Structure 1
């Protein structure tokens, strides 16, 4: 049998999202369009006798960071060595960078063998959409109404590198809403909620306080008409985990955030929900 690895097309990225949904990862319905915009060359497909059977995303950010995701081999080819070939090709594309991933906890040992170290766990919390008003002095607004350079600069305080092309797409695609919190005229929160096959996904969820984070989730749920929500919360942010409990959200899924290098220097205290398990 012939196994070939090549850069995927836009259609292939859509296929990867469908495979992720089949694995129970519940991606946002239009997420793949923003993924492709982030780094069009960062999605690899493994074809066995011409048929797509495996995939991996290896997206480059800036000069020194990369994120690995969408590592999927279709059930029929698992355990036959094709997946590891794709893994090696993906890691070669990110050579010399600090690489992050969000992997299922059961695979931590294998990732460690490839040079990754555990930084924290993301605990997905989900449940009925909460009702939480904005705190006094805080104004909630559509993120698309904010000057993009200000939004991108705020996002950069929570992410290792600039990701402007991804961010511009992430806030403007259909079947989602993006909001910011303003306090004394300055950004004090930013969140996106997108419709999914199951609970609507929230990510990112950045905020100066738990109260602001909760109000953003509530406002986004109202705006999108979402009855249930899901947030991937870093367990290193104890205030975020506590907030999820106060909102009545329950743990449902867990992934391990791992890096090949040091933990990036970002604002972890304000990181209440990661943007995406696929792209960081």
Structure 2
């Protein structure tokens, strides 16, 4: 078997990983390549054999305590050769002593357990056709002036700073971001991004189920008839109830796993995760 060489991914090569993700049926966002890179420009890797990229994966270090691995794909022609495990070990070494999270495909949970991951709950992908609803006056379209308050609110739910990524994620082209403000304070926000098929909402963070529902309905109001997707953590029962009340159906699921335990976040406020790739 030829030797695998692992190196940091070049910015222009992230589109390769996103294209592979599309072929795997992951339905990436049309801006994902550029925006993902902002999360940690040094945290994306390729594995090469004889100059050919055969494996890709990310390991985003958010701060000195937390990292998240994702975007892990081995090209079909090179699976079963140990390249994926070698790349995974390299990514974990890059994470150093941080707590590392993943959203692992269910059929590979036992493999992830063997390298130190522990499953905690499932994130379930819910999908439906968007419907218009009565507009709510409580909704505010996110503008640049709201970003500092949203970054602060985000820390309650994500547990680590992600200023460069989230600032761009909120303002992405063909996307929409809304928030709810009460007495000048953010009590919830959500982002919708255009994907190769339909739209995904994520994150969807809110103080209460009613606020989350208001945000989710606002984010589908202007795309009635299009596919809309929400990745819901099952450890928040209110989030699952919201998706079910919207008559959404589960089409996919992952296992949220961590190396060093659950992060200290307010799970009751998480109604939709940001992405399977970045946590």
Correspondence for 1:209:
208
**Deviation per residue, 1:39-66 (Å, 9 max, x gap):** 1000000111111110110010111100
TM-score by length of 1: 0.95
Please name the residue that 1:220 is paired with: 219
Matched, 1:82 2:89: no
**Alpha-carbon shift at residue 279 of structure 1 (Å):** 0.6
- Written as runs of structure 1 = structure 2, the 5 A alignment for 1:136-155 is 139-155=138-154
Runs (4 or more) in structure 1 with deviation over 2 Å come to: 130-135, 144-148, 221-226
- RMSD between superposed Cα atoms in Å: 1.5
Give the Å deviation of 1:12.
1.3
Q: Is the 8 A contact 2:128 2:248 kept in 1?
A: yes
Structure 1 position 97 matched with structure 2 position 90: no
Question: SS of 2:262's equivalent?
Answer: coil
Structure 1 stretch displaced more, 204-213 or 231-240:
204-213
SS in 2 for 1:197: coil
Size of the aligned set, in residue pairs, is: 278
In the TM superposition, what whole-angstrom CA distance separates every residue of 1:238-261 from its partner, at most 9, and x where no partner exists?
Answer: 111111111111110000000001
Q: For 1:60 and 1:256, locate their aligned partners in 2 and report how far apart those are by CA, in whole Å.
A: 20
SS at match of 2:143: helix
On the 8 A contact 2:44/2:59 being kept in 1, the answer is yes
Aligned twin of 2:164: 165
Contact 2:149–2:185 (8 Å) recurs in 1: no
Is contact 1:99-1:260 (8 Å) kept?
yes
Q: Give ranges in structure 2 of 5+ residues lacking alignment.
A: none
User: For structure 1, which runs of at least 5 residues remain unmatched after alignment?
Assistant: none
Q: Bigger shift: 66-75 or 209-218? A: 209-218
